[in-house]
Amino acid sequence: DGGITQSPKYLFRKEGQNVTLSCEQNLNHDAMYWYRQDPGQGLRLIYYSQIVNDFQKGDIAEGYSVSREKKESFPLTVTSAQKNPTAFYLCASRDSFTYEQYFGPGTRLTVT
Amino acid sequence: QKEVEQNSGPLSVPEGAIASLNCTYSDRGSQSFFWYRQYSGKSPELIMSIYSNGDKEDGRFTAQLNKASQYVSLLIRDSQPSDSATYLCAATNAGGTSYGKLTFGQGTILTVHP
């Protein structure tokens, strides 16, 4: 069953702690993306990766870091430097031929 | 700043009616266009892709693209209460340095009432 998984579904952290969100895909897609969605707002691009061992900053990369050591995996770390980390985080991967992006179920992060 | 704008909504239609969702984009280099449906608290789900001018139909959904007017629309025929969701329009300029990045509109909230 092909798809994208994200874990955990809900995450609670205290201010000042780094936290890593998991994203795994078995669609054999090269490109993967991380977005953030705030209530009532659209999706904003945090980081993206076109291929293993390569990634680029998106529109709101400050306070976030990523790695891409395997094709299937693209974890996102929310660092203590991120001023407003509470949000819904969405991972996606892209079909190279159609440019269609498919999303995982998301991780809802709450930092207090 | 490349933008995608959607009709502000919220849009309310009676069950069985046609819901019309509209989107304009500013980047003339945009080549691929997508409609996503997002239920409250869930992630976006791809429902339509369109790449060339004209209409594309899939079941009750029809996407329309007019590149000259930089306009994309989604029609939902025989609207059902289960269609109530936020609809996101997205565009990509597949070439150049965009690397297939999608630019999303803010979304239009659709409510279908019985």
- Dist. CA A15–CA B80, nearest whole Å: 43
Average confidence score pLDDT of chain B = 92
CB A11 within 8 A of CB A107: yes
Closest CA to A60 of A76, A47, A42: A47
What count of other Cβ atoms lies within 10 Å of the Cβ of residue A70? 11
DSSP code string of A36-83:
EE-TT--EEEEEEEEETTEEEE-TT-TTEEE--SBTTB--EEE-TT-S
* Average per-residue pLDDT for chain A: 94
How does pLDDT run across B10-42, given as a tens digit for each residue? 999 999 999 999 999 999 989 999 999 999 999
Task: Examine the pLDDT at B97 and tell me if it is beyond 60.
Answer: no
Q: What percent of chain A has pLDDT over 70?
A: 98
Question: How far apart, in whole angstroms, are the C-alpha atoms of residue A5 and residue B43?
Answer: 12
Query: Mapping DSSP to helix (H, G, I), strand (E, B) and coil, where does residue B83 land?
Result: helix
Which of B42, B99, B107 shows the shortest C-beta gap to A48?
Answer: B99
Q: Is the pLDDT of residue B100 over 80?
A: no
- Contact residues on chain A for B49, CB-CB shorter than 8 A: 98-100
Task: Express each pLDDT in A47-100 by its tens digit.
Answer: 999 999 999 999 999 999 999 999 999 999 999 999 999 999 999 999 988 999
Distance from CA of A92 to the nearest CA of B (A): 10
Contact A106 B42 (CB under 8 A): yes
Q: How far is B105 from chain A (nearest CA, A)?
A: 6
Which pLDDT band holds residue A42 (cuts at 50, 70, 90)? confident
Q: Which of A17, A26, A21, A38 is nearest to A82 (CA)?
A: A17
Of chain A, the percentage scoring pLDDT greater than 90 comes to 89
Contacts of A105 (CB under 8 A, 6+ apart): A4, A5, A6, A9, B42, B43
* Secondary structure (3-state) at B78: coil
Look at A103 and B49 and tell me if their CB atoms are within 8 Å.
Answer: no
**Least confident interval from A21-30, A93-102, B23-32, B95-104:** B95-104
Instruction: Check: CB of residue A15 under 8 Å from CB of residue A111.
Output: yes
Mutate to test the interface with A, among B33, B45, B102 (most CBs of A within 10 A): B102
CA of A2 vs chain B CAs: smallest distance (Å)? 15
Q: Tell me, what's the pLDDT at A69? A: 97
Would the CB atoms of B106 and A56 count as touching at under 8 Å? no
Which pLDDT band holds residue A40 (cuts at 50, 70, 90)? Answer: confident
How much of chain B, in percent, has pLDDT values that exceed 90?
82
